[in-house]
Chain A
Amino acid sequence: MRKLLLIAFKDLKLIFRDKAALTFMLLAPFLLTLGLGLVTGAYGSSGSSGISQIKIIIVNQDSGQLGQALVDLFQSAGLADLVAPTLVSDPLTARAQIDANAAVAAVIVPAGFTDNIIPANYQAPAADILQIEIYKNPLSPVSAGVIQSIVEEFISRVETGRVGGQVIVTQLLSAGLIAPDQVSAIAAEMGQLQANSVDQAPAISLQAAQSGPAQKAFNPMAYMAPGMALMFLMFTVSNGGRSILAEQARGTLPRLLVSPTNSAQVLIGKIFGVYVTGVIQMLILIVTCSLLFNIQWGNPLGILVLILAAVFAATGWGMLITSIARTPGQVGNIGTAIMLTFGILGGTFIQNSFMPGWFQIVSKITPNAWGLDGFTTLGLGGSLVDLGRPLLGLAVMGIALFVVSILIFSRRSFAQK
């Protein structure tokens, strides 16, 4: 055991004295995280769990109760988190603000809207149908869609009231429950009823309940920073593997075997050194990003276990590359290529949820995808118990890769040359 630790510690010292390796292990992921943070504007916001405070402009030209009811709806406490309404009087001003990208949508209620739906004294409805205009900002389709949904629900309620009044009066009349001369009075009563029916409970209703995992406001940096750290972790493990072949090429490996140390101890010691280096690299990056970018990574125990598992799987890849390659240069080239390929496959540059299903399946060969899955879970408020899937994925990957690598190493009679 002591021999293993000595070999690992020796490799650790060598790597942390290598300025080039340190540049790639620590500086590169840090700078790229910084760059991505600038792109996403992550430094300027505290993070968000989705759509919030949708800026809208309301123009209410209607003097009746329906126009005011719509304004009241948008200003209600129930929509306070979702919508940030501003009232203006001029439709032209409202549209201009949307065109200037100052808000997501303008809702314009025309003059006479209430009278158009609920004619005074049960007169015949007007031939011209007045419409609420939703002037949408094409750059915010989802947020504008939310506003449209709210207006549509409101119109549905209004329309239900209108049709309801009409159906009730007609039915009462045709059933002989009211006389023709009562229509006017009943219609007035129904008019009042339909106006009030905006708040009526629907026939199909929703029982909404907040359940499932508690979710914290998510800082995009908590995704980008581990993404970069995991990508450059692949460099660390392949660089470690490179050192094994470099010792072989320089002849220092056979020298080690002159001492009372067998080849298995040497190999395990070196692999352990690579593993410890990867863990230290991840910890340094996480602590640095926490301090500089104020990233809340989530449950500390979960983070630690996830790092140990991710580095284990990544080290498996490093060993596989080393077992296949013939020269240190080959390990460097293949390792860098795999680092970059895993970076784009694993979601470092594009979030995998935006990619098609087959791409997401392929991404599972990378420790990056499993690791990011875990970091995202923790960043959203998950704990160690929520990490079952990523931890299992990383563990299986690591074990499989180590078994294959050891088989190849033994066939190549590692360290005997």
Chain B
Amino acid sequence: MRKLDEALLPPALALAIALVVGDLLILSFGQSPGAVFAMLLEGTWGNAYGLGQTLYKATTLIATGLAVAIPLRAGLFNIGAESQLAAGGFAAALMGLAIPASLPWPVAAALCTVAAVVGGGLVGAIPGALKARFGASEVIVTIMLNFIVLALLNWIVASHLHVPESLHTPEIHSGGVPRFADFSAVFRGSAANVTLVGAIGVAIGAWWFLFRTRAGYELRAAGLQAEAARTGGVRLPRVWLVTMTLGGALAGLGGVNYVLGYKHYYEEGFGSGAGFLGIAVALVGRNHPVGVIFAALLFATLSQGGLAVNAVVPKQMMDVLQAVVILAVAVCVPEVRRVLQDAARRAVMRGTAAS
């Protein structure tokens, strides 16, 4: 019980801070916080369509959140979820274009999903391999890969694959997965699809992997105390490679949500920052798969809610609110504070070294 308190109270404090700051922001736009929050809730959890949109957004965020959270457990900071997500979506679309239309959708969807996992995994494997082989910082490599991979994909699409006067590929032949609207008309128009079920399954799988398997044990040991793990026979380079590949694969899986579940094509920039938001999701979810699910729902609610109240408060307010949540978490959650303090110390050291 005490452990649960320790896990839940700091994020709860962060949320409470964010709520009050949100109130003040809304007031500063001359609107009533009560009315705006009511509107926000109505537009997200208050009707099936809004709920569907929220769940749709949460699906991608669960994938990218896990893609950041699991490497963080191994002490690796994966900033590349954005490009891994794009690579996953692109690979899924390529597979969907390559297979015949006659293939039944479950088979086609499975093939496309495998492609997404491989696509994202490959992009994740690069920083993993470079770190394992040369000790290159995964932070720098993933940041650089974001530029390289996105530019490369967009160039391929722009110059070879796109439908004229659009930014996207043709529609895939097969592999689209059912939307919730196919089961219940109340979800009509919302993009929520069965990928959500897959994402939750993957999160549960991630929990099992982290806390119930030997590889997860070694991964956590490497993240908490690399030297102790090494002394305990953990092969750190292998852990780095496997973890980053896994992180990339998880982010790639997020591409399935868009390509198979929503638009049925790859479009430039479809990620719209969901990969970066994954960092926030992982932090707020405290690197725990279950926490990631809830954090993904929170950020999805903020995003969809931002649209719902957009007519009365500008979008930037929601962006600020999101930043407040992240900052409040950074201040309230001990391990995040520790990471930040370490970073600050390193910065101070660099400063003194420079002088």
Are A and B physically bound partners?
no
Interface residues of A (CB under 8 A from B): none
